[in-house]
Amino acid sequence: MKTLLLLLVTAAFAADSPGERTHQVAGVFKSQSHSHWVGRNDWAGRYPSYVLLNLEDQKRPSLITVEGFPIGNHLYPDSKRFLKSMRSGPRRQRASAYATLVIAGEKRTIWERSYPEPSKIQKTGDSNMYSVRERFVILERDEDFIVARLKGPLDKFEDNAKEFDEFLSSFKLLPTR
């Protein structure tokens, strides 16, 4: 069953394009990735997002997500509230400034945090935990803010982090419609 689900998810993301792949949501962003990162556009949903799945990581795939949060939304009314939530919780799991990078023409802070995540929840409620790392950047606009993040298991994280940096380096905010 797990294999079937993985095949269905992989098929939904798969595309035949060698080399680089362009990802775009009209009026939001445009960026590039290696071809093994395939995208799924859910921007029209209740919680706008664009998800890239690394098809090379079959067991515990790494994800790049681009999420939109309208100013005044109930979950994170502004980017300061979002960052505050990422910097709360147990000390070892709080986000801290990792680096700065020029993204969409401006110097921006890249944040990073690590935390345990269940790999599979058992019927008893127990789970096998593994460590994940997450890097993210917040891009503010007039009517919303965008969060681009990489999330994945520690053992593959640094390889994927280089590709995330490349994704961010090519990232462009597009004029709203």
Look at residue 28 in the predicted model and tell me its pLDDT. Answer: 94
Q: What is the pTM of this model?
A: 0.83
Domains in the chain (CATH in brackets) are 2-173 (3.40.1000.10)
Look at residue 39 in the predicted model and tell me its pLDDT. Answer: 92
Burial class of residue 102, CB neighbours in 10 A (0-12, 13-18, 19+): exposed
Structure tokens at 31: 């960026």
C-alpha distance from residue 65 to each of 10, 45, 56, 85, 114 (Å): 16, 14, 17, 18, 17
Along the 177 residues of the chain, how does pLDDT read in single tens digits? 444 333 334 444 444 345 899 999 999 999 999 999 999 999 988 779 999 998 887 777 899 999 999 999 999 999 999 999 999 989 989 999 999 999 999 999 999 999 988 766 556 665 677 789 999 999 999 999 999 999 998 888 998 999 999 999 999 999 886
Structure tokens at 170: 């090519």
Cα three-residue angle 152-44-32, rounded to 5 degrees: 50
Residues in the chain: 177
Q: What is the 3-state secondary structure (H, E, C) of the chain?
A: CHHHHHHHHHHHHCCCCCCEEEEEECCCEEEEEECCEEEEECCCCCCCEEEEEECCCCCCCCEEEEEEEECCCCCCCCHHHHHHHHCCCCHHHCCEEEEEEEECCEEEEEEEEEEEEEEEECCCCCEEEEEEEEEEEEEECCCEEEEEEEEEEHHHHHHHHHHHHHHHHCCEECCCC
